[in-house]
Amino acid sequence: MNNPAVETDFEHRLVEAIQPIRHLALAHALYTMLDNGVYQTVKAEPGLTSAAIAERHGLDAERFAGLCLYLANEGYFAQRAKGAQEGWHLTEKAKALEPFQPWYTLLVGGYAQTFGQLGEVLKHGAPFATRDGAKVGAGSCGMSMFDALPLADRLLNTLPAQDLTVVDLGCGDAAFLTELVRRRPGLRAVGIEPDEVGSRLAEERVEAEGLSDRVTIHRGRAADAVSVELPTDGTLCFLTAFVLQEMLEQESEAAVTELLRKTMNTYPGAYWLVIEVDQQLDDPRTMSHALGLSYYNPYFLLHVITEQRLEKRAFWDDLFDRAQLDVVDFAHPDASVDSTALELGYLLRRREPAPQHV
């Protein structure tokens, strides 16, 4: 039996209810355009037809034409007359996307497959969900240009600039590390990356940017840091950006503590620069923040189902204390980029033993 009240309201409720599905499709479409070079082509040469763009990138012309129309309906592509044909150009809405490509690389390129495994991974005894490690590394490095890298740069100002070497454990494609080197003349750097694709991309980036004389890349785990030949002149600073969280889950808390202690015992005058995230998924006030909902809420969820372990600030404070490390400096990213204060930056040094009084 039909209910007139329900019938007249149904379409409105349907539209509201399926917005997440719309955004799912849109996220994939935008990521694809940003990742396969189409975005840059349309930006550089507005007015090309969909057939010309498809040929340029080795795409199926008919399928790509459908994507163009889809993006036009969502307000990202628009047609422009070109003689007797219609060419495509980016709308202002699409142009505004460019700085934020790394977020798409991380969350769609790196973790779309992860969210797709949610139903299976929630089952008791199921293994962790998988991810695309190379995309995760590339996206994370790109995002870090806006928050973690300026944060690291600010903390490094505490250290002497002359003869400083930064050892980046889990350097990804080295975008973070090479940018840090460019910002600090005279800085030397060593990158260590476990992912095969990521380490290869890091080597290629270092060579392409002409930094081979200042940056060395090794393939290996963070725990391999003490087995890599490092400069002994000047100041050493070990760096992990969102890496200890992986060691916590994939190895153990003891392994993290051992890494910190071992490197500091091997290089007593060294520093550690750690960037991590304060896990506040259970704090409704924090998660109601606009960036909390749009970024950190899915970010925290994917960490629950992948082989990574986020912790609260109090946990990190306690772990560093037990590892006999003192906090030399502490900071959050610039509030104009991220005002949640969920990203944590520590500059640490080995605690000196208390003087013995006779």
- Residue 331 confidence (pLDDT): 96
What is residue 194's predicted lDDT score, i.e. its pLDDT?
86
pLDDT at res. 157: 93
Predicted confidence at residue 161, as pLDDT, reads 76
Contacts of 49 (CB under 8 A, 6+ apart): 82, 85, 86, 87, 88
- Structure-block tokens of residue 181: 């080197």
For 116-150, give the secondary structure using H, E and C. HCHHHHCCCCCCCCCCCHHHHHHHHHHHHCCCHHH
Q: Where are the domains of the chain?
A: 4-96, 103-350
Report if pTM > 0.75: yes
Residues of the chain where predicted confidence (pLDDT) is lower than 70:
1-6, 81-85, 354-358
pLDDT of residue 24: 97
Domain 4-96 has what CATH class? Answer: mainly alpha
Per-residue pLDDT tens digits for 212-229 = 999 999 898 887 787 788
Distance CA 29, CA 68 (A): 10
Provide the CATH topology of domain 103-350.
Answer: Rossmann fold (3.40.50)
Nearest alpha carbon to residue 187 among 232, 234, 120, 253: 234
pLDDT computed for residue 85 by the predictor: 58
pLDDT in tens, 295-314: 999 999 999 999 999 999 99
Per residue in 256-303, pLDDT (tens digit) is: 999 999 999 999 999 999 999 999 999 999 999 999 999 999 999 999
pLDDT of residue 68: 97
Output the pLDDT for position 84: 46
